[in-house]
């Protein structure tokens, strides 16, 4: 098994009377890890420790196997970073911004690389427009494009989808999936639960400086809510068919909706094939079958319920 690309091992950071940690999680090659938590929970401090901008008070942080404090250059080489609030010179164009970054990094064929990342984030048509004329979402996409320059091994992205319209979100979603498929590793903090649930292979939830959960979105939903949901869109659903669905092993509740059924399922079961089989064999018209909407968001809210002091 290969070594983790990102690793927090019992990591602690003290801020006066505030403490973050111990934090324990790792991210492997080709994974997209969603780092969740409310504002002030400790996410940014963890990212700063990962970038070598803050020194842990205890435990360790490793980036590509290197200590980002004592081996800063080695750890950060081949790492792209996009901050939550990018500070980009407004008198430049996107092409200017990326050309300067490419030159500073010593990238060859900088023009081709610049156009590639602008295309991937979906702002190639604005490549010669002054940054001052771009929307907040376009500036955010430009910041992500800068992090993608040179095909880095790792990208660390702080709220990369903040302020994006649906088109911008779709562009980044596909760009991130493609990057991970090619072996790149992403750690991204985000408040967009639907996107995290859709693209992240693993998630960590931090609150009040403590890591409350580390695993997959499905595991968190099951652990926190005790059940998952399946949404069925179908026509010609008779009472007998609904009762048959209710009797499927693992199903703990069925609610009829305007367009079909909401099926509550024990977290340890995968019942979608059984539901499809029951509906099709009964003659019902199955239109769509998928996981319930906003389940991760529901689990997130339940997990954080209780409040407490914040850590920066």
Q: What are 276-307's pLDDT values in tens digits?
A: 998 888 888 888 887 766 778 888 888 888 54
pLDDT-derived band at 27 (thresholds 50, 70, 90) equals very high
Q: What was the pLDDT predicted at 238?
A: 87
Domain layout of the chain by residue ranges: 6-220, 226-283+292-300
Average pLDDT over residues 56-74: 92
pLDDT-derived band at 222 (thresholds 50, 70, 90) equals confident
pTM, rounded to two decimals = 0.81
pLDDT at 310 over 60: no
pLDDT-derived band at 33 (thresholds 50, 70, 90) equals very high
Average pLDDT over residues 47-70: 93
Q: What are 259-270's pLDDT values in tens digits?
A: 888 888 887 778
State how far the Cα of 9 lies from the Cα of 65, in Å rounded to an integer.
Answer: 12
Same fold for the pair 6-220 and 226-283+292-300? no
CATH class, 226-283+292-300 region: alpha beta
Q: What was the pLDDT predicted at 293?
A: 67
What architecture (CATH level 2) is domain 6-220? 3-Layer(aba) Sandwich (3.40)
pLDDT at 122 over 70: yes
Average pLDDT over all residues of the chain = 86
Angle at 266 between CA 265 and CA 270, to 5 degrees: 70
Average pLDDT over residues 205-220: 88
pLDDT at 37 over 50: yes
Check residue 182 and give left, alpha or beta (phi > 0: left; psi -120 to 50: alpha). alpha
Q: What was the pLDDT predicted at 70?
A: 92
State how far the Cα of 258 lies from the Cα of 262, in Å rounded to an integer.
Answer: 10
Q: What percent of the chain has pLDDT over 90?
A: 29
pLDDT at 110 over 80: no
Check residue 228 and give left, alpha or beta (phi > 0: left; psi -120 to 50: alpha). beta
Q: What was the pLDDT predicted at 307?
A: 42
């Amino acid at each position: 098994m290969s070594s983790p690309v990102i690793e927090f091992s019992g990591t602690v950071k003290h801020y006066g009377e505030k403490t973050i940690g111990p934090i324990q999680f790792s991210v492997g090659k080709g994974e997209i890890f969603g780092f969740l938590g409310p504002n002030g929970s400790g996410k940014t401090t963890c990212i700063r420790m990962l970038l070598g901008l803050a020194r842990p008070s205890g435990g360790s942080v490793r980036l590509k196997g290197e200590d980002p404090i004592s081996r800063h250059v080695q750890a950060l080489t081949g790492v792209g970073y996009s901050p939550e609030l990018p500070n980009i010179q407004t008198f430049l164009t996107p092409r200017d911004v990326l050309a300067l970054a490419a030159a500073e990094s010593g990238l060859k064929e900088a023009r081709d690389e610049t156009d590639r990342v602008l295309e991937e984030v979906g702002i190639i048509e604005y490549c010669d427009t002054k940054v001052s004329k771009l929307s907040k979402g376009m500036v955010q996409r430009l910041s992500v494009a800068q992090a993608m320059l040179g095909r880095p091994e790792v990208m660390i992205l702080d709220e990369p989808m903040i302020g994006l319209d649906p088109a911008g979100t779709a562009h980044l979603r596909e760009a991130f999936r493609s990057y991970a498929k090619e072996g790149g590793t992403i750690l991204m903090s985000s408040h967009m639960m639907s996107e995290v649930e859709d693209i992240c292979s693993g998630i960590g939830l931090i609150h009040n400086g403590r890591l409350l959960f580390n695993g997959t979105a499905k595991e968190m939903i099951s652990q926190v809510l005790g059940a998952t949901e399946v949404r069925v869109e179908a026509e010609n659903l008779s009472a007998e068919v609904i009762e048959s669905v209710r009797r499927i092993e693992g199903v703990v509740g069925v609610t009829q909706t305007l367009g079909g059924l909401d099926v509550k399922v024990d977290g340890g079961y995968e019942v979608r094939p059984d539901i499809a089989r029951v509906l099709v064999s009964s003659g019902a018209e199955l239109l769509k079958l998928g996981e319930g909407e906003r389940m991760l968001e529901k689990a997130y809210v339940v997990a954080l319920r209780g409040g407490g002091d914040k850590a920066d």
